[in-house]
Amino acid sequence: MATGFFNGLNKVTFEGADSTNPLAFRHYDADAVIMGKRMEDHLRFAVAWWHSFAWEGGDPFGSQTFERPWHPQDNMANARLKADVAFEMFDLLDVPYFCWHDLDLRPDQGNFADNLATLNEITDYIADKMASAKAGCLWGTANMFSHRRWMSGASTNPDPDVFAFAAATVKSNMDATHKLGGQNYVLWGGREGYETLLNTDLRQEMDHMGRFLNMVVDYKHKIGFKGTILVEPKPQEPSKHQYDFDAATCIGFLRKYGLEREVKLNLEQGHAILAGHSFEHELAVAASEGMLGSIDMNRNDYQSGWDTDQFPNNVPEVALAYYHVLNAGGFDTGGTNFDAKLRRQSLDPQDLIAAHVGGMDICARGLKAAAAMIEDGGLSDVLRDRYAGWDNPEAQAMLGSDLGAITQRVLDLGINPAPQSGRQEMLENYVNRFV
């Protein structure tokens, strides 16, 4: 039976670029084929349970602004109602996936046994709903940052009892993700970091985090979970400093603990900006190591300096992001999760739909532009020509040589490099033809 939450709103359809209907897709046409693949299969959109259904509209200066029929979120009846509404929204948007934390699905019970029982109960309820719905689980994760028990970290907590609680919590969430046919399991360590070095043993905390992640990977194999384990970099917020700072830091960490072939990265636009990078930087770094797993799509307010998790609305930014995704071969188990929330004044159910329609359309435009650039080949031609000198066997031989022999070669041949233009402005103009 319908909840009535979205009364008056219809299933969103593709109407084409000339449509003026604010609740229609103008660019996202799920079945349109781009580079041999349906748009839906390229983008693999997911709705984030936390921002769309669990977040109540608070900010540091004021509490709840949203009034939803499933508030207060402190009981299982409201957890089920929230799930009913979530599936109504997945259907209205026709999205193929959703993502969740345990805490988004049901309230924390204050102890592990009851947390486990209620997680099983609500994910059974969701599995039932999935049997007659299109939407599947892109990924699940454990919220190990909201409850006060996690205030000094989860796997990096100085208290071994918190480490134990974290291990049990992640196991139960991996089991739930597996049960829901999840394509990935994510770990984002919001409290895996420190507030002050004055009370922090970095070495021990890192070793515990590395050991913990190895246990996660072992457990994945033990239960036959075929999805990908992903870690999500973010430099700070809520911790002053987070260990999974950015893609490069995570890659070094994964190598140190022998996980580089087991774990990939879930990269988020807003987190890239917080780390002082661009989104395409993070994607390119991960792709260059074969570790680009999935993306959390959103955007930050460039003036505010914190993780505002707004819906994307900048086509050139998104186009360059998908350019790197497509160049890396596209998503395998990953997808495009809208880790994005409404502004707290956007009170109405239709705001939720409009936000996702806009985000999906922006991503579709970005994907089309990225595909057009790849098919045109302008940027790959430039790369090929720029590094063409290295096709020369003598240049290649240098890489197996040594400093002394190379010095002799410079002297013998009178090598004296002639600088070449990098053509940056021409390349930026080139990209602008497509966006």
**Stretch of residues binding Ni ion (CB under 5 A), selected from 129-137, 169-177, 244-252, 293-301:** 293-301
Q: Pick from ligand XLS, Ni ion, none: which does 141 bind, CB < 5 to 8 A by kind? A: ligand XLS
Write the DSSP symbol of residue 199.
G
Residue 389 contacts by C-beta under 8 Å, 6 or more apart in sequence?
395
Active-site position among 29, 102, 104, 244: 104
The piece of 153-161, 252-260, 262-270, 314-322 that touches Ni ion (CB under 5 A) is: 262-270
Q: Which stretch binds Ni ion (CB under 5 A): 34-42, 291-299, 320-328, 384-392?
A: 291-299
Considering beta carbons, is residue 88 or 296 the nearer one to ligand XLS?
A: 296
CA 138/CA 127 separation, integer angstroms: 14
Q: Which residue is nearest to ligand XLS (CB)?
A: 188
> Is residue 296 near Ni ion by the rule CB under 5 A?
yes
Interface with Ni ion by CB under 5 A: which range of 91-99, 115-123, 289-297, 379-387? 289-297
Residue with tokens 């997808």: 335
Smallest separation, CB 172 to ligand XLS (Å): 16
Identity of the residue, 34 or 275, whose beta carbon is nearer to ligand XLS in the bound complex: 275
Residue in the structure block whose two tokens are 């790369």: 383
Window contacting Ni ion (CB under 5 A); options: 30-38, 159-167, 284-292, 301-309: 301-309
Q: What is the DSSP string of 121-169?
A: HHHHHHHHHHTT-S-EEEEEE---SSSGGGTT-STT-SSHHHHHHHHHH
Q: Check binding of 268 to Ni ion (CB under 5 A).
A: yes
Nearer to Ni ion by Cβ, of 115 and 143: the residue is 143
Q: Quick one: residue 142, left, alpha or beta (phi over 0 = left, psi -120 to 50 = alpha)?
A: beta
Give min distance, CB of 307 to ligand XLS, in A: 5
104 is a catalytic site residue: yes
If the CB atoms of residues 302 and 416 are measured against Ni ion, the closer one turns out to be: 302
Q: At what angle do helices 315-327 and 349-376 cross, to 10 degrees?
A: 60
Q: Catalytic pick from 42, 101, 178, 281?
A: 101
Which stretches does DSSP call E strand in 307-434? 336-338
175 near Ni ion (CB under 5 A):
no
CB of 268 closer than 8 Å to CB of 296: yes
Alpha-carbon span 384 to 390, nearest angstrom: 10
Smallest separation, CB 268 to ligand XLS (Å): 5
Partner in contact with 246, chosen from ligand XLS, Ni ion, none, beta carbon below 5 to 8 Å by kind:
none
d(Cα 357, Cα 202) in Å, to the nearest integer? 43
Task: Report the alpha-carbon distance of residue 361 to residue 355 in Å, rounded.
Answer: 10
- CB closer to ligand XLS out of 123 and 143: 143
30-35, long-range: CB < 8 A, 24+ apart: 30/94, 34/367, 34/368, 34/371, 35/326, 35/371, 35/374, 35/375
Residue 339 in contact with Ni ion, rule: CB under 5 A:
yes
| Least distance in angstroms from the C-beta of 233 to Ni ion | 10
Q: Which of 168, 48, 47, 73 is nearest to 115 (CA)?
A: 168
Q: Measured from the CB atom, is 29 or 296 closer to ligand XLS?
A: 296
The entry of Ni ion, ligand XLS, none near residue 228 (CB within 5 to 8 angstroms by kind) is: none
Measured between its terminal Cα atoms, the distance across the chain in Å is 43
70 binds, among Ni ion, ligand XLS, none (CB under 5 to 8 A by kind): none
Binding residues for ligand XLS (CB under 6 A): 101, 141, 186, 188, 232, 234, 268, 296, 307, 339
User: Which of 48/367 has CB closer to ligand XLS?
Assistant: 48
At residue 303, what is the residue type?
Q
Q: Strands of 192-273 (E only): list them.
A: 193-194, 228-231, 241-242, 263-268
How far apart, in whole angstroms, are the C-alpha atoms of residue 302 and residue 426?
26
**Residues within the interface to Ni ion (CB under 5 A):** 268, 296, 307, 339
Question: Looking at the annotation, which residues are catalytic?
Answer: 101, 104
